[in-house]
Amino acid sequence: MRTIKFQLEPLTCPSCIKKIEGTLGKMDGVENVKVLFHSSKVKSTYDESKITSDELKNTIEKLGYPVAS
């Protein structure tokens, strides 16, 4: 298992949390997802044999939440 953190562009509403956590949480290999609204950070624990950090990042961005560089 591996844990990764992503810094997002500022989140604008609490419903963003449900959308990100719900989508990532359903992905095969994702063990845990936590979105911190005020700091706009996503922390996820995942099984690297089933999913990659790039897949997580791409999914977040496809939801409409840019990951800050």
Sketch the domain layout of the chain as residue ranges: 2-62
More confident call, 33 vs 10 = 33
Q: CA 11 to CA 64: how far, in whole Å?
A: 11
Level-2 CATH architecture, domain 2-62? 2-Layer Sandwich (3.30)
Does residue 43 have a pLDDT over 80?
yes
Read off the pTM: 0.91
In this predicted structure, the answer to whether residue 69 has a pLDDT above a threshold of 80 is no
Q: For position 30, what pLDDT does the model report?
A: 98
Determine the Cα–Cα distance for residues 26 and 19; give it in Å rounded to an integer: 11
Query: Residue 14 has what pLDDT?
Result: 86
Place of tokens 């990100």: 20
Percent of the chain with pLDDT over 90: 88
pLDDT category of residue 12 using cuts at 50, 70 and 90: confident
